[in-house]
Amino acid sequence: MKKGKLIYEGKAKKLYQTDNPGLVIQEFKDDATAFDATKRGTITDKGVCNNKISTHLFGVLETQGIPTHFVRLLNEREMLVQRLEIIPVEVTIRNVVAGGMAKSLGLQEGKELHSPILEYHYKNDALHDPLFNEYHILAMELATEEELKTIAKYSFEVNRILLEFFDQCGLKLVDFKLEFGRHKDKILLGDEISPDTCRLWDKTTNKKLDKDRFRRDLGDIEEAYQEVLKRVCERSRV
Ligand code: TMP
Ligand code: ASP
């Protein structure tokens, strides 16, 4: 697969054209940002870990019927994906109180929720990805009612599948963020699924094994990403 022109550079990834207009190369960087990129750093080999972790997780989801943009792993830092028209909505699912929810609602981090919460955020860095709801999405014509129904259905299914998968890895899936896009007439899960986009706590010690180690200066950041990769790979081989 020939690597063509750079199409887009985000905070953690780059996208390149290929000789097939329907396919793009997604390259994972070691750059880390938090709090609207006011905090910046590098996590050594984060890109390599996230590329492999995402590959495993997209594989798990595909086998359980979730359509994703993943096509195949190309090398340590790159995967081939379907080109999507990204819907500018970030879907967050929460199983345990943490992060933004603990702050905005004044709740104790670590409290198990009675049922999972689905949140929508408008994907717009300049506006700091504000929380909004399905009425905003429909009124702003970001997605149709049918698309939104599909997105919510897939998101809860992803939660069910990944809760079980991570549990078998000895990890608690606290919360995570998904992005979806249009490919021909279908909705596909896009972006990545990694310790950058999920909160993952060790099941027995509650040790944070995700990007919160960077956000909160907790140390052992590289080790946390390697640990998640190791557990995900071991589980996938079973
Ligand atoms: P939050 O508690 O800060 O809203 O984050 C919820 C989840 O979404 C958490 O697993 C981290 C992930 N996330 C992203 O992937 N990108 C973002 O820009 C933010 C704010 C959160
Ligand atoms: N990556 C996001 C940013 O740079 C926020 C985060 O993940 O905390 O703003």
Choose which residue among 33, 198, 210 to substitute to test ligand 2 binding: the one with the highest number of ligand atoms within 8 A of its C-beta.
33
125 CA from centroid of ligand 2 (Å): 9
176 within ligand 1 shell (Cβ under 6 A): yes
Secondary structure of 72-108 as H, E, C letters: EEEECCEEEEECCEEEEEEEEEEEECCHHHHHHHCCC
Do 3-82 and 85-220 have matching folds?
no
Full pLDDT tens readout for the chain, 238 residues: 899 999 999 999 999 999 999 999 999 999 999 999 999 999 999 999 999 999 999 999 999 999 999 999 999 999 999 999 999 999 999 999 999 999 999 999 999 999 999 999 999 999 999 999 999 999 999 999 999 999 999 999 999 999 999 999 999 999 999 999 999 999 999 999 999 999 999 999 999 999 999 999 999 999 999 999 999 999 976 6
Query: At the fourth CATH level, which superfamily is domain 3-82?
Result: Phosphorylase Kinase; domain 1 (3.30.200.20)
Query: At the fourth CATH level, which superfamily is domain 85-220?
Result: ATP-grasp fold, B domain (3.30.470.20)
Domain locations in the chain as residue ranges: 3-82, 85-220
Place of tokens 């014509």: 141
